[in-house]
Structure 1
Amino acid sequence: MVPWLAHDDPFPPVERALGALSGAPGLLAASADLLPSRLTDAYQRGIFPWYSDGQPVLWWSPDPRMVLRPADFKVSDSLRKTLKRVLRDPVWEVRVDHDFPGVMRACADTPREGQRGTWITADIVDAYTSLHRAGRAHSIETWFDGERVGGLYGVSFGRMFFGESMFAHKTDASKIALSALVGHLRRHKIEMIDCQQNTSHLASLGGQEIPRRAFVAHLKQSVGLPPIPWAFDKSALLDVLARQ
């Protein structure tokens, strides 16, 4: 039985999430609220919300957990050429936190194979925008000729980044944003990006699954550390290219 959380109820231990043989592996709890305080507590425990419009808020902590270590980020030959071109040509920009709600809406509006609709509801946009105003959520945006053509957003606590969603309206635009993020995180010795669920796309970029206990142990060491600065541009790509 998945517990229903009243307004002030704490999350149960993540070990109580439904197992692999259930119909919803990783499901931990449900609630009616999506307050920023609840989100803050969730991320620091290795829990995230994922639900569809019309459902209660569903809280998840899967085992294993998909992560991307910046040190393991893979750059294909074609992406390497693209990143060099981005660095060389001033028509390309990487902006950070220029339009956080706009990036979320773009992620919500981008069609995805095998997925009907979006889990990025109006309530999700409002809740994460509140985290953004508090300096806890960030967008990394790819701009071409004055137009935003791709990007991603996620949550950051201490020395941990939790990736949420990406979009691209131009080839490799989301990978450019991710590459810049990886370069920035490498510069600040961030060891792990949470990717939540396994996908072939993330695996092709160097993502891998780790046991939930290892993920939570890393989380406990990382989220309480001093936060890193969130101001950078496309020069962060240099750090990615230099280490390949």
Structure 2
Amino acid sequence: MTDKITPQLLLSAYASGVFPMAQSRDATDLHWVDPRKRGVFDLDNFHISRSLSRQIAQNTCIIRTNYDFSAVVTACANREETWINAEIYALYQTLHKTGFAQSLEVWDGPDLVGGVYGVTLGAAFFGESMFSTKTDASKIALAYLVHRLRAGAFTLFDTQFLTPHLASLGAVEVSRNQYHQRLNAALAQTATFNPPGYAPTPHSVRQRSTQTS
């Protein structure tokens, strides 16, 4: 259990390799998590299947960053079981306002249909959660996110845990010690979520990823 978490304490926790979670939406306290096995994306080995490649090529949705951060967090929490409670929501709103939390969003006209949000420190991106209300929208969001992180000189994409969905896209599991080594190296470097002149295209996103069947 934790006492009241401040945004600065939260950033210090990320730099130490731990992150907070709530037991449920209605929980009134948080607990710190430091997984024995950690999920990470190797940014040079993000897998895009042929079907997803076609989805990206044919996608008519608009990709935006930080257009409606709060809506992304709300959508991520809009499920039967969630670790995002009111305190988590408020903390990440503050991190976003101070430039430490980012969102990448998939918009279909006026509708937000997919997205992912996370925390940035040094050259590390700590993925927090993602959602999708349209087929493959979360996969498209991840493909564009990985492309952006590469362009911005990020070296670590932390997914916290490894799920079958993330594994299918190339995420792997590393030990706690390996993760902390990668984290320390990333924190010693600098990166930007919004590289100057960055203008991704569906073609460039598809080409910079490992193609799989």
Q: TM-score, normalised by structure 2?
A: 0.90
Aligned counterpart, 1:121: 85
Displacement of 1:215 after TM fit? Answer: 0.9
User: For 2:67, what is the secondary structure of its paired residue?
Assistant: coil
Mapping 1:143-222, distance limit 5 Å: 143-222=107-186
Read off the aligned partner of 1:121 and give its amino acid letter.
N
Structure 1 distance, partners of 2:151, 2:134, is 27
Q: Per-residue displacement from partner, 1:37-66 (whole Å, max 9, x unpaired)? A: 111001011101112233531101111211
1:39 aligns with: 10
Shift of 1:221: 1.6
For residues 173-197 of structure 1, give each alpha carbon's deviation from its aligned partner in whole angstroms, at most 9, with x where no partner exists: 1111111111111223323210111
After superposing the two structures, state which structure 1 stretch, 220-229 or 163-172, moved more.
220-229
Counterpart of 1:239 in structure 2 is: 204
Q: Is the 8 A contact 1:186 1:239 kept in 2?
A: no
Whose RCO is larger (CA < 8 A, sep 6+)? 2
Please give the alpha-carbon distance, in whole angstroms, between the structure 2 residues aligned to 1:234 and 1:105: 27
Is the Cα contact below 8 Å between 2:153 and 2:190 reproduced in 1?
no
Aligned amino acid, residue 89 of structure 2: V
Name the one with the larger strand percent. Answer: 2
Query: Structure 1 stretches of 5 or more lacking a match?
Result: 1-29
Alpha-carbon displacement from aligned partner over 1:123-159 (angstroms, at most 9, x marks no partner): 1110011010110000100011222111010001111
CA RMSD of the aligned region, Å? 1.8
State the secondary structure of the residue aligned to 1:37.
helix
Shift of 1:234: 7.2
Q: In the alignment, which residue of structure 2 is the partner of 1:230? A: 194
1:64 and 2:37 correspond: yes
Is 1:108 the counterpart of 2:77? The answer is yes
Deviations 1:181-222 (A, max 9, x none): 111112233232101112111111111111111111111121
Work out whether residues 70 and 193 of structure 1, in 8 Å CA contact, stay in contact via their aligned partners in 2. yes
Q: 1:206 to 1:73 in 2, by over 3 A?
A: same
CA shift at 1:120, angstroms?
0.8
Point out the more displaced range, 47-56 or 229-238.
Answer: 229-238
Residues in 2 aligned to 1:190 and 1:227: alpha-carbon distance in whole angstroms? 5
CA distance in 2, matches of 1:98, 1:233: 16
Q: Judge conservation of contact 2:154–2:191 (CA < 8 Å) in 1.
A: no
Residues 113 and 133, structure 2, Cα contact 8 Å, conserved in 1: yes
TM-aligned CA deviation for residue 235 of structure 1: 2.0
Counterpart CA distance in 2 for 1:233 and 1:154 is 20
Point out the structure with max Rg over C-alpha. 1
In the alignment, the residues of structure 1 paired with residue 201 and residue 169 of structure 2 have an alpha-carbon distance, to the nearest angstrom, of: 17
